[in-house]
Amino acid sequence: MKNRPFMFLVAQVPQDLAVNKPAFQSSTWSAAYSASKANNGDADTYISHGSCSHTAAGDPSPWWGVDLGAEYPVEYVVITNREDCCGRQNRSKDRCTFGVET
Ligand SMILES: [Ca+2]
């Protein structure tokens, strides 16, 4: 029997370190849009589907943060805003996906 060449392919799949880690934001529009919705692993961008965070209207300096639990070398930070309204206005108040990849 003839030896067949073989090859192993090893791909490093980015790991999202932010999924389901403790998340915080400067204010919350309503309980349905809490900080944890941004990093719940669901990338749905329609806020009415319940997977986006949103700070309160009138928050003069909105922010969102996540505690990764440790220090990591970070390759990418991915932020996805809602796509169901509001055109090109400042989207700093909502986040549907927040990912940190190594
Ligand atoms: Ca989400």
51 lies in some domain: yes
Residue 91 — pLDDT band, cuts 50, 70, 90? low
For residue 90, CA distances in Å to 2, 13, 40 come to: 64, 32, 23
Residue 63 — pLDDT band, cuts 50, 70, 90? very high
Residue 90 — pLDDT band, cuts 50, 70, 90? low
Task: Tokens for 35, please give them.
Answer: 């900080």
Averaged pLDDT score across all residues of the chain: 84
How many angstroms does the Cα of residue 38 sit away from the middle of ligand 1? 4
Residue 96 — pLDDT band, cuts 50, 70, 90? confident
Task: Pick 97 or 28 by higher pLDDT.
Answer: 28
CA angle, corner 14, sides to 100 and 80, nearest 5? Answer: 45
Which residues make up the environment of ion ligand 1, defined by Cβ < 5 Å? 40, 42, 51, 96
pTM of the model: 0.77
The mean pLDDT value for 6-20 works out to 79
Residues spanned by the domain of 25: 19-95
How many domains is the chain partitioned into structurally?
1
According to DSSP, the residues that pair with 100 across neighbouring strands are: 77
75 lies in some domain: yes
The mean pLDDT value for 48-73 works out to 92
102 lies in some domain: no
9 lies in some domain: no
How many angstroms does the Cα of residue 7 sit away from the middle of ligand 1? 38
How many angstroms does the Cα of residue 10 sit away from the middle of ligand 1? 29
53 lies in some domain: yes
According to DSSP, the residues that pair with 98 across neighbouring strands are: 79
- What tens digit of pLDDT does each residue of 21-45 get? 999 999 999 999 999 999 999 989 8
64 lies in some domain: yes
